[in-house]
Amino acid sequence: MNAPHPPKVAGIDSTVPAPAHTVASVATSTSPAAPANPQNAPGVLLQDRLAGWVSDLTTLHELTEHLARTSSLDEALQELLRAGAALVGARRGLVVLEPADGHGPDTMIGLGLARADLGHIETIPRSAVPYGRILEGLPGTDDGVAVPDLLAEKGLDPRHREVAARLGYAASYTLPLAPGAGTDAARTAEAARRLGAAVWLYDEPAEPSERQRHLVGLYARYAAEHLARLLELERTRASMATMSEELLPSRLPRIPGVQLAARHRTSPHGGGDWYDALPLPDAALGLAVGSVTGAGPSAVAAMGRLRASLRAYAVMEGEDPVAVLSDLELLLRLTEPARSATALFGYCEPALRRVTLAGAGHSPPLLLGERRTEFVETSVSAPLGMLACWEAPSVEVHVEPGETVLLYTDGLLHRTGDPTDRAFARLHAAAAGVPQALRRDPGAIADHVLRTVLPEGVQTTDSTEDVVLLAARFE
């Protein structure tokens, strides 16, 4: 028995196949032209309904699997729009993310709509669009709002009519995005947890069928749960990045004879990499980079304590970098015996273009100039907190006019994914390849090195490594 062809919605074939048989199709099958055994009709009807349910569940399973593989909020919102458009038979749509708790982030993302198109939609008074009424928690919007023919809608706001005509859409279907079971008893709790609303736009008068509404409603409730998890993760990452940035220098000092630039990216988990640049007596300058073991709030807090302690030791005895790191090691061992750290401290005398360096388990700085690009050979030593008494000799470097010293943390090397020797070679090649036009600007040098060493960028959300790059160009 052949199933009737599923109806078209807004000129687009339904992506989700309808159940193969309905009561009407059974009646057709019992006509004289197609005789059937009445005893078999109920069983055939049940089988067809089961086949339709299985098809729907399979479709939902595939779509939710695609959504579950998304790892960022923007990626998940785009996937939600694509899947919802397929389920309701629309071509375009938008998501308005506006969490009810007021803590953000607030954003609008479109499918098949340019940024300018979204701007036009935002000019419509909020009370005149269904997503605005949903976000305001008005009654009658919990199960979605269908507007099958915008131009025929009585009392349509003139601005809404103008935007619809400009963008070429004639109907819409809007759903709230709220984690929860969707039952009447959970309406109040859902409204308090509402994340936003999803809108799908039709090019001609149309509305989703009852079956399509049911499927997209199930999908939207699952999507809202996934979005809620990603939202919390996004907020945690933002909080960690803010806390880490607040513990680092708000601005770099201005010291005659040297130009400074710094680049820092915190991992989503919150790492303990840090840098510092502080003026010292006798027109000297202290430069430091380091990394604390671990991740999360405890590592960020330990990083802040370690940096503050190093600043104090540098002011008191910065001309002796070995003494500075020795004091820091003693403090770390006494106050946080379960933690270790790497550090590199340089005492710079810009007038003499001389840098005295000492390192504790840290990667060597890189010297970049017109005639040379080379790593500074610092003494190999253990990280702080791993020996009963730390001490290693310092090294003195004379910098030529126009040369730049690059200090960095191991996260820059680890994010390459290469073995250590290849990561060092990549960093060296990136520094050597800085164009001549950029070499007078330490910020441009740092950006070029980062782009070359990490071509995929330093904002990747799956990396557990911080990135710190501090550039000092001597005049």
Question: Which numeric CATH code is attached to 247-474?
Answer: 3.60.40.10
pLDDT given at position 240: 73
Q: How confident is residue 389, by pLDDT bands cut at 50, 70 and 90?
A: low
The helix, strand and coil proportions of the chain, stated in percent and rounded to the nearest 5, come to 40, 20, 40
Decide if pLDDT at 458 tops 90.
no
Q: How far apart are CA 16 and CA 126, in angstroms?
A: 32
β-pairing, 366-368 vs 467-474, is: unpaired
Per the DSSP assignment, residues forming a β-bridge with 228 are none
pLDDT at 21: 35
Q: Are 148 and 130 in contact (CB under 8 A)?
A: no
* Those residues with Cβ within 8 angstroms of residue 139's Cβ, 6 or more apart along the chain or in another chain: none
DSSP letter for 18, please: P
Over residues 341-381, the pLDDT tens digits come to 999 999 999 999 999 999 998 999 999 999 999 999 887 78
Q: What is the pLDDT of residue 272?
A: 85
Q: How confident is the model at residue 43 (pLDDT cuts 50, 70, 90)?
A: confident
Instruction: Catalogue the E-assigned strands of 310-402.
Output: 341-349, 354-360, 366-368, 373-375, 395-398
Looking at residue 22, what is its pLDDT? 36
Q: Does the pLDDT of residue 426 top 70, yes or no?
A: yes
The answer on pLDDT for 191 being more than 80 is: no
Residues 144-165, mean pLDDT to the nearest whole number: 91
**DSSP codes, 437-448:** GGTT-HHHHHHH
Residue 34 or residue 371, greater confidence: 371
For residue 465, the 8-state DSSP code is -
Q: What CA–CA distances, in Å, run from 201 to 73, 161, 455?
A: 22, 14, 38
Q: What is the pLDDT of residue 460?
A: 54
Question: d(Cα 71, Cα 75) in Å, to the nearest integer?
Answer: 7
Instruction: Give the residue-averaged pLDDT of 436-457.
Output: 92
Task: Supply 213's token pair.
Answer: 């509404």
3-state secondary structure of 399: coil
CATH hierarchy code of domain 70-238 = 3.30.450.40
pLDDT of residue 459: 56
Single-letter residue type at 306: L
Distance CA 472, CA 475 (A): 10
Spans of all domains in the chain? 70-238, 247-474
What are the DSSP calls for 406-447, one per residue? Answer: EEE-HHHHHTT-S-HHHHHHHHHHHHHT--GGGTT-HHHHHH
Cβ 234 vs Cβ 97: under 8 Å = no
